[in-house]
Amino acid sequence: MTLKKALKDGKVTLGTWITINHPDVVDALSDLNFDWICFDLEHAPIDPSDLEFLLMPLKRDPPTPMARLSWNDQVIVKRVLDMGVKGLVVPMVNTKEDAERMVKYASYPPRGIRGAGPRRCIRYGELDFLEYYGGFEENERVLIAQIETPQALENLEEIASTPGVDALFIGPFDLTVNLGIPTQYDNPKFEEAKKKVLKVCEKYDIAPGIHALVPEMVKQAIDEGFRFVAIMNDMKVMKSGFKEILIKLGRLEERAVRGY
**Which positions are catalytic?**
43
Residue type present at position 106: A
CA 122 to chain centre: 22
CA distances (Å), origin 60, targets 30, 96, 229: 9, 34, 21
Determine the longest span between alpha carbons in the chain, in angstroms.
63
Beta pairing partners, 211: 230
From the list 172, 158, 171, the residue with the least C-alpha distance to 206 is: 158
From the list 195, 180, 174, the residue with the least C-alpha distance to 92 is: 174
CA distance 253 to 243: 9
CA distances (Å), origin 33, targets 64, 119, 143, 233: 11, 27, 22, 15
Query: Phi-psi bin for 210: left (phi > 0), alpha (psi -120 to 50), beta?
Result: beta
* Cβ 205 vs Cβ 166: under 8 Å: no
From the list 97, 96, 113, 94, the residue with the least C-alpha distance to 105 is: 113
* Cis-peptide into 62, omega within 30 deg: yes
